[in-house]
Amino acid sequence: MLNQVNQLVSLSGVKMKSLVRWSASLGLIGSVLLGQLLPGMNRAIALPAEEIMKKLESVLVFTITNAEGTPLIASVTNDEREASIASFFMSQRDAEQFVQKIEQQNPELAGNTQVVPVSLAKVYELEQANANNPERLEFAFIPVQQQVQFAAEELQQEGQEIPQSNGMPLFNGVPLFYATIGPEQGYLTIEQNGEQLIPIFFNREQLESMLTRVREQQPDLAPSIDVRVSNLDKVIEELENNDDPAVTKIVLVPSTETLEYLQSLPQPAQP
């Protein structure tokens, strides 16, 4: 367990230069061409771990550490089994608010906790490396509540019943949003550098912004566009196991908050 915590500490050294460059390219979605990609067009092999990590590296999650950079680990007992859990927030603001809450409840921690960005690719790498360890550290990803609400609304429109807790919808995992088009429900794609890509968004608003442009530019397509909901675990599972070539075209679009955070960082010096 200690070794895993040490590995997690090292994850905070995010390669911000490459993240800024990669995320900036994803932020140009408004200038690309649109198309459609049908699933099952040919066969291919599932993605290797290295390719999956490339797709995850543009996504930042935020964990809480002490002043020395050691992550705060929670111990939870479930079904007579004790698990050690490291939490990762999808929103930096949510993580900061959580820090304020725990410091109010535990004044001795005031000034001794901090929010640290971590690339989702690095978290995935650590999770894979310790998958067979019975004492492995568990990871919990905390979604943005507003996006959970959006996901619940979309699923309810599809006729699904969404359970509630304290007046809030319950959703399994971190919600993701994408669009399909046409009677065959092909994936709505963007074209970037001559390649068709399937954008999947952490923010419902970013998808809607793209769809607004589609409806304005191609109003005949508007009636056949549908918003779909998935979750982060399911998409990663598809990347790992699905041999449909459409899966290789998936690109995870960082949230607006993450893009703004990356843009606020000092820009790398030009060689």
Smallest CA-to-CA distance from 230 within 267, 167, 180 is with 180
- Predicted local confidence at residue 23, as pLDDT: 46
Do 144-262 and 47-142 have the same topology in CATH?
A: yes
- Predicted local confidence at residue 7, as pLDDT: 53
Residues ≥6 apart with Cβ < 8 Å to 179: 187, 188, 207, 210, 211, 225, 226, 227, 228
- Predicted local confidence at residue 268, as pLDDT: 57
Architecture of the structural domain at 144-262: 3-Layer(aba) Sandwich (3.40)
- Predicted local confidence at residue 3, as pLDDT: 56
- Predicted local confidence at residue 56, as pLDDT: 94
Domain 47-142: which CATH class?
alpha beta
- Predicted local confidence at residue 24, as pLDDT: 45
Q: Is 179 exposed, middle or buried (0-12, 13-18, 19+ CB in 10 A)?
A: buried
Question: In DSSP terms, which residues pair with 87 in a beta bridge?
Answer: 140
Identity of residue 239: L
Q: Where are the domains of the chain?
A: 47-142, 144-262
The three-state secondary structure class of 135 is coil
Q: What is the mean pLDDT of each run of 10 residues along the chain (271 residues)?
A: 52 48 45 51 65 91 89 77 87 94 86 90 89 81 95 91 84 94 83 86 94 87 90 93 85 89 70 54
Identity of residue 180: T
For residue 14, give the DSSP letter: -
N-terminal to C-terminal alpha carbon distance within the chain: 41
Q: Kind and range of the H or E element at 139?
A: strand 138-142
- Predicted local confidence at residue 222, as pLDDT: 84
